[in-house]
């Protein structure tokens, strides 16, 4: 995101926090740049200035503003003094009518300002007309949320019924299209991502095998009871052999893989006892 110049809090009474929000799939018309322009215009219109930005990207309108990563701490009073918030529209506060009303009245009760683009001056919730308009906009935001949710649900059902993939593949897989921009023909393993996952698995296996080996080692030292499978040696788990475990492994083990997982096609890591 483009860095946006802010000015210091100076107690002038119009030191505002710019509020922007964008959810994942929807709100294509509310691009960050567009919201930026609208917030800057709304703040300039009341002669205020922006001291910070509370940008919540990938945050659904259904989220309670108090719990939003960027806006939440401001509303909870954890980020220092500010005179109010400024957003592109009421629906940038949220799309849950109850949350929007709660937030609006919380800001009013704390003596702060609420500014939005397209509304002349700060909102005055003591004024019956403004109060009505604010609840109407909160209501409209919620109507839109329900419509968005229904569209997403319907689209998901339709894709499922048509057997078409929707959204991104799981990590490690990729879509195959027969020609550029064409429909997805099938899903296959992505060799690059798959190798990263296999490597992570190998490392995890190796680590578990070493821990198991140390445990067996400790047990044998304490109880003098042979517990170890002949193949389960220090070399097999990638450790230098100690004095108590000088036997060489009889089975060659691939680099980075424990004897246990090499022997067990299911990739088990527990040492055979």
Question: Least distance from C-beta 47 to Zn ion, angstroms?
Answer: 10
Report how far residue 105's alpha carbon sits from residue 139's, in angstroms, rounded to the nearest whole number.
15
CB neighbourhood size of 78 (10 A): 8
Binders of Zn ion among 54-93, rule CB under 5 A? none
Number of residues that bind Zn ion (CB under 5 A): 3
Q: 10 or 33: whose CB is closer to Zn ion?
A: 10
Q: What angle do CA 99, 104, 109 make, to 5 degrees?
A: 125
Burial of 199 (0-12, 13-18, 19+ CB in 10 A): exposed
Consecutive H or E run containing 188: strand 184-189
Among 2, 5, 6, 12, binds Zn ion (CB under 5 A): 12
Does the protein bind Zn ion through residue 10 (CB under 5 A)? yes
Binders of Zn ion among 13-32, rule CB under 5 A? 15
Does the protein bind Zn ion through residue 143 (CB under 5 A)? no
Q: 45 or 239: whose CB is closer to Zn ion?
A: 45
Q: 15 or 86: whose CB is closer to Zn ion?
A: 15
> Beta strand 184-189 with 84-87: parallel, antiparallel or unpaired?
unpaired
Question: Least distance from C-beta 107 to Zn ion, angstroms?
Answer: 17
Cβ-contact 220, 168 below 8 angstroms: no
Residue nearest to Zn ion (CB): 12
* Interface contacts to Zn ion, rule CB under 5 A: 10, 12, 15
């Amino acid at each position: 995101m483009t860095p946006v110049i802010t000015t210091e809090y100076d107690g002038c009474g119009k030191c505002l926090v710019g509020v922007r929000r964008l959810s994942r799939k929807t709100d294509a018309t509310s691009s960050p740049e567009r919201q930026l322009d609208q917030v800057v215009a709304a703040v300039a219109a009341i002669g205020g200035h922006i001291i910070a930005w509370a940008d919540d990207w990938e945050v659904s309108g259904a989220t309670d503003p108090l719990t939003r990563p960027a806006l939440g701490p401001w509303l909870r009073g954890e980020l220092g003094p500010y005179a109010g918030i400024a957003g592109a529209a009421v629906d940038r506060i949220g799309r849950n009518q109850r949350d929007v009303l709660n937030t609006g009245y919380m800001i009013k009760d704390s003596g702060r300002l609420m500014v939005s683009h397209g509304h002349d001056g700060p909102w005055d919730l003591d004024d019956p007309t403004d109060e009505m308009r604010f609840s109407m906009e909160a209501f409209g935001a919620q109507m839109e949320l329900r419509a968005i949710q229904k569209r997403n649900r319907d689209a998901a059902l339709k894709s499922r019924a048509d057997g078409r993939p929707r959204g991104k593949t799981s990590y490690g897989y990729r879509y195959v299209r027969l020609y550029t921009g064409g429909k997805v023909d099938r899903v296959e393993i992505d060799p690059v991502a798959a190798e990263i996952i296999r490597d992570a698995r190998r490392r995890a296996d190796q680590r578990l095998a070493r821990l198991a080996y140390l445990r067996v080692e400790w047990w044998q030292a304490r109880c003098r009871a042979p517990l170890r499978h002949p193949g389960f040696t220090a070399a097999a788990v990638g450790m230098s052999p100690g004095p108590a475990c000088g036997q060489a492994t009889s089975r060659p083990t691939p680099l980075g893989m424990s004897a246990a997982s090499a022997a067990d096609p299911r990739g088990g890591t527990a040492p055979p006892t």
